[in-house]
């Protein structure tokens, strides 16, 4: 009976109730869009970072993490790779040699991180071949190929196919040098990082540095599913307790920090939107109660007790949300689904986004629990919004209320 | 069974008692018997509505007691009083005060729903009452679709639905044209005679006074006269 009456009361003033419900639905839609867009941006940042920098998991010699000396190598590389080959969660593996040295040309020199990569696996894992803006990738026939950024080339005053010299510390502690021919310019969009890293072939670096066979400084791993990172990391740790196995969040704490910052910002936005909806609903419910003072007095006069009156007003507030919440969620879901397929094209700001390590097409996405969280938050908001008007209604004095015109 | 349905003793309602007291009711003692058809009359501000509100448990007297069906209202708690009103007192208001979103039938059965009566019991009673007040064919109409007279008849059906001890009707004909008022009063008189339902009116309307079998006249909150006719 109370539900029936509350439901009918909502439609007593369809325009006013409709406006509130539309506001709630629009609020939910806006909230979902902002959350989805932010999640899309975070995932874009994380994906770019995983693809170009961290992979999902990296393996190092334990001392290499804090002291990236050339001597801190992973030994028994073949055995490690063999174990990983049997793990179905792992999609790609790429070993790397990493050292720090000097790149110099006839006109100048600069310090750089020298990465020795296996061109085939690296192309699959980091799509390094796609980053080549001019010239060739490292998979050329000729020995001692090197890829550098165009910015670095400008500083060194070199052009494509010219030679540079890499000098770095060999395994025995002596400085070794090698002459490399520039095969191409690469550009990941992050100029500052690009100018500090040069890529050569794994085999070439191993030969010039006189490093041991069957060793590497780093093994980069990507998985089929980002959610299995912890499980795979634990599995690898059990196989190789003597190695440092780190997830992308451990390698790059800025990812987790960025994620947390976005979450905090989102919480603030959620609170602001919920507060706006809260006061909107309170206002409407209060108006509905005040303009019905006489009727509420009559209801109490004929025998409706205060609890039932309280429940009736609360139900009016809750039922309005029961109509608008599914509508808002559906609208938001359709928007997010549509945009996750087509993406939001921000190519106008592509260079800026790339500087931040993001793609120019953002694909909004929302996890299913967020839908429940929004729905629960709205139900709580509607309950809170109903309390004051319901108390106001409950405190109606029938004799006074009935005297009102 | 005691035949007295309403008994007030030394009833006072005083506003601003500590400053400049205004006596809305001043020592009102009346007894009303079951099956009465009574009009409480008097000029505006004489205390008619205050008396009805206090008898109906909607307002508290400053002093004095009200006993309904042998029960003293003064000692009752809020919810107890609301339930007592629901079960013992029917209200008919000047401006009908129906619930605009419910149909005539739903309005009529509303108090029975509050009482938790079964569907069969409600249907039987409401069908009878809608028929009795001559509004059965408008059962599905909402108040906005009914004339003033029809709305007031629905209000009477609602007041009688829970089988109350008596009905308090505050200026029930004030907003009605003479024909509607006459139909309403005929119907109430009939229910009074045939069902022995007690009606207590507060009114200025001579048409009501003509039909009342007892008239209590209030002046300045006091019982000026109490005459049987």
How high is the ipTM of this complex? 0.88
Inspect the interface and report whether the beta carbons of B78 and A1 lie closer than 8 Å: no
Mean pLDDT over residues A77-94, rounded? 92
When CB atoms are compared, the residue of B58, B87, B115 closest to A301 is: B58
| % chain A with pLDDT above 90 | 56
Q: What is the pLDDT of residues A89-148, one digit of tens each?
A: 999 999 999 999 999 998 889 999 999 999 999 999 988 898 899 999 997 777 899 999
d(CA B83, CA A338): 56
Chain A contact set for B88 (CB, 8 A): none
Average pLDDT score over residue span A375-390: 92
Residue B24 pLDDT exceeds 60: yes
The pLDDT value given to residue A391:
94
CA A177 – CA B94 distance, rounded (Å): 107
Indicate if the pLDDT at residue B18 is higher than 60: yes
Which residue in B has a C-alpha nearest to residue A396's C-alpha? B58
Distances (CA, A) of A382 to A123, A274, A296: 53, 10, 21
Residue A350, pLDDT > 80, answer: no
pLDDT band at residue A405, thresholds of 50, 70 and 90? low
Q: Is the pLDDT of residue A402 over 90?
A: no
Torsion of CA A139, A144, A149, A151, to 10 degrees: -150
Determine the residue among A14, A294, A297, A301 to mutate to test chain B binding: the one whose Cβ has the most chain B Cβ atoms within 10 Å. A301
Q: Which residues pair with A109 in a beta bridge?
A: A104
User: What's residue A44's pLDDT?
Assistant: 83
Which residues in chain B are contacts of A10 at CB distance < 8 A?
Answer: none
**Best CA proximity match to B94, nearest among A402, A300, A301:** A402
Name the pairing type of β-strands A361-362 and B22-33: unpaired
Torsion of CA B139, B141, B142, B148, to 10 degrees: -90
What does pLDDT average to over chain B? 90
A154 touches chain B (CB under 8 A): no
As a whole number of angstroms, the distance between CA A351 and CA A273 comes to 32
Beta strands A344-345 and A361-362 are: antiparallel
Mean pLDDT for A371-376 is 90
Contact B85 A301 (CB under 8 A): yes
* pLDDT tens digit sequence for B51-95: 999 999 999 999 999 999 889 998 888 889 999 999 999 999 888
- Give pLDDT, residue B107: 94
Nearest to B100 among A12, A299, A307 (CB): A12
- Which chain B residue has its CA at the smallest distance from A395's CA? B78
pLDDT in the model for residue A45 = 83
State how far residue B154 is from chain A, nearest Cα, in angstroms. Answer: 14
DSSP helix/strand/coil, A319: helix
Helices (H), chain B: 48-55, 78-88, 104-115, 119-132, 148-160, 178-195, 206-211
Rounded Cα–Cα distance for residues B157 and B165 (Å): 14
**Cβ(A265)–Cβ(B75) below 8 Å:** no
Residue A54 near residue A246 (C-beta atoms within 8 A)? no
Q: Which of A162, A173, A52, A32 is nearest to A115 (CA)?
A: A52
Q: pLDDT value at position A197?
A: 94
Report the pLDDT value the prediction gives residue B2, as an integer from 0 to 100: 64
pLDDT at A353 over 80: no
The Cα angle at residue B196 between residues B192 and B199, in degrees rounded to 5: 50
| Token pair recorded at residue B5 | 């349905």
A396–B contact, CB cutoff 8 A: no
Separation between Cα atoms, residue B208 and residue B50, nearest integer Å: 19
Say whether pLDDT at B31 is over 90.
yes
Residues 6+ apart with CB under 8 A from A369: none
**pLDDT tops 60 at residue B34:** yes
For residue A156, give Cα distances in angstroms to A114, A150, A260, A267, B111: 16, 10, 40, 48, 93
Q: State the smallest CA–CA distance between residue A302 and chain B in angstroms.
A: 5
Residues 284-303 of A with CB under 8 A from B: 294-295, 298-303
Q: What angle do CA A249, A251, A255 make, to 5 degrees?
A: 40
Chain B interface residues (partner A, CB cutoff 8 A): 49, 53, 56, 58-59, 78-79, 82-83, 85-87, 91, 93, 97, 99-102, 110-111, 113-115, 158-159, 162
Smallest CA–CA distance from B108 into chain A, residue: A302
Q: What is the CA radius of gyration of chain A?
A: 31
pLDDT band for position B200 (50/70/90)? very high
CA distance A191 to A179: 24
Q: Are A55 and A129 in contact (CB under 8 A)?
A: no
A12·B101 Cβ contact <8 A:
yes
**Measuring CA to CA, which residue among A324, A318, A301, A325 is closest to residue A390?**
A318
The answer, for A8 touching chain B at a CB cutoff of 8 Å, is yes
Question: pLDDT tens digits for A264-281?
Answer: 888 898 889 889 989 989
User: In 3D, which of A264, A299, A326, A273 has the Cα closest to residue A396?
Assistant: A299
Q: Is B53 within 8 Å of A300 when comparing Cβ atoms?
A: no
Compute the count of residue pairs across chains A and B with CB atoms less than 8 Å apart: 61
Compute the 3-state secondary structure of chain B and give helix, strand, coil in percent, each to the nearest 5.
Answer: 40, 30, 35
The string of pLDDT tens digits covering residues B101-128 is 999 999 999 999 999 999 999 999 999 8
CB < 8 Å to B114, chain A: 1, 302-304, 308
Each residue of A6-25: pLDDT tens digit? 999 989 888 989 998 999 99
Residue A210 phi, psi (nearest 5): 55, 45
What is the H or E stretch that residue B14 is in?
strand B4-15
The rounded percent of chain B whose pLDDT value lies above 70 is 99
Per-residue pLDDT, A190: 75
Query: Does the pLDDT of residue B1 top 60, yes or no?
Result: no
Residues of A in contact with B113 (CB under 8 A): 1
Report the gap between the CA of B111 and the closest CA in chain A (Å). 7
The 10 Å Cβ neighbour count of residue B25 is 28
Q: Which residues of A touch B93 (CB under 8 A)?
A: 298, 402
DSSP bridge partners of A169? A175
What pLDDT score does A243 carry?
94
Q: For the segment A205-262, what is each residue's pLDDT rounded down to a tens digit?
A: 999 988 888 999 999 999 999 889 999 999 999 999 999 999 998 998 888 888 888 8
Contact check, Cβ <8 Å, A300/B82: yes
Of A5 and A403, more confident: A5
Separation CA A69–CA A73 (nearest Å)? 9
Contact B66, B8 (CB under 8 A): yes
Establish if A12 touches chain B: CB-CB under 8 angstroms.
yes
Contact B82 A294 (CB under 8 A): no
Output the CA torsion B68→B71→B75→B77 (10° steps).
-80
């Amino acid at each position: 009976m109370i539900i029936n009456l509350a439901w009918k009361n909502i439609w007593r003033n369809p325009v006013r109730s409709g406006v509130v419900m539309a506001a709630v639905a629009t609020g939910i839609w806006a909230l979902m869009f902002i959350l989805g867009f932010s999640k899309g941006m975070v995932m874009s940042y994380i994906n770019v970072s995983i693809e170009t920098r961290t992979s999902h998991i990296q393996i190092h010699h334990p001392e290499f993490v804090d002291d990236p000396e050339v001597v801190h190598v992973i030994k028994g590389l073949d055995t490690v790779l063999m174990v990983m080959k049997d793990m179905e969660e792992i999609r790609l593996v790429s070993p790397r040699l990493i050292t720090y040295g000097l790149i110099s040309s006839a006109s100048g020199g600069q310090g750089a991180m020298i990465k020795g990569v296996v061109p085939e696996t690296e192309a699959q894992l980091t799509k390094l071949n796609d980053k080549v803006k001019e010239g060739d990738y490292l998979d050329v026939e000729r020995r001692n190929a090197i890829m550098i950024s165009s910015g670095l080339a400008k500083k060194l005053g070199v052009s494509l196919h010219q030679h540079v010299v890499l000098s770095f510390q060999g395994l025995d502690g002596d400085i070794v040098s090698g002459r490399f021919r520039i095969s191409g310019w690469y550009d990941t969009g992050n100029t500052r990082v690009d100018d500090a890293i040069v890529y050569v072939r794994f085999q070439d670096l191993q030969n010039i540095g006189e490093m041991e066979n069957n060793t590497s400084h780093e093994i980069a791993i990507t998985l089929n599913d980002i959610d299995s990172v912890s499980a795979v990391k634990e599995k690898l740790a059990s196989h190789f307790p003597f190695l440092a196995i780190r997830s992308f969040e451990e390698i790059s704490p800025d990812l987790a920090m960025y994620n947390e910052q976005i979450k905090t910002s989102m919480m603030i936005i959620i609170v602001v939107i919920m507060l706006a909806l809260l006061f909107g609903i309170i206002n409407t419910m209060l108006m509905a109660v005040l303009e019905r003072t006489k009727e509420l007095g009559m209801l109490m006069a004929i025998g409706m007790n205060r609890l039932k009156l309280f429940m009736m007003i609360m139900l009016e507030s809750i039922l309005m949300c029961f109509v608008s919440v599914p509508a808002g969620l559906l609208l938001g879901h359709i928007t997010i689904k549509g945009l996750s397929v087509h993406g939001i094209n921000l190519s106008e700001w592509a260079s800026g986004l790339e500087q931040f390590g993001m793609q120019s097409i953002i694909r909004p996405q929302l996890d299913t629990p967020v839908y429940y969280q929004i729905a629960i938050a709205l139900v709580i908001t509607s309950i809170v919004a109903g309390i004051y008007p319901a108390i106001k209604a409950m405190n109606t004095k029938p004799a006074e209320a009935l005297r009102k015109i | 069974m005691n035949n007295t349905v309403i008994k007030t003793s030394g009833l006072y309602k005083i506003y601003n008692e500590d400053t400049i007291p205004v006596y809305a009711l001043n020592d009102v003692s009346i007894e009303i018997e079951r099956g009465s058809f009574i009009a409480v009359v008097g000029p505006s501000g004489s205390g008619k509505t205050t008396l009805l509100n206090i008898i109906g448990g909607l307002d508290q007297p400053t002093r004095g007691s009200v006993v309904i069906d042998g029960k003293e209202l003064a000692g009752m708690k809020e919810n107890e009083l609301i339930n007592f009103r629901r079960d013992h007192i029917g209200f008919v208001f000047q401006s009908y005060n129906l619930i605009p979103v419910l149909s005539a039938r739903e309005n009529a059965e509303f108090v029975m729903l509050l009482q938790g009566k079964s569907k069969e019991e409600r249907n039987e009673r409401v069908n009878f009452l809608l028929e009795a007040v001559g509004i059965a064919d408008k059962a599905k109409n909402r108040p906005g679709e009914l004339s003033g007279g029809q709305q007031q008849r629905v209000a009477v059906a609602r007041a009688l639905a829970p089988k109350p001890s008596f009905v308090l009707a505050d200026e029930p004909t004030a907003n009605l044209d003479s024909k509607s008022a006459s139909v309403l009063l005929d119907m109430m008189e009939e229910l009074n005679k045939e069902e022995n339902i007690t009606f207590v009116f507060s009114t200025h309307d001579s048409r009501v006074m003509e039909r009342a079998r007892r008239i209590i006249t209030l002046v300045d909150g006091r019982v000026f006269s109490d005459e049987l006719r």
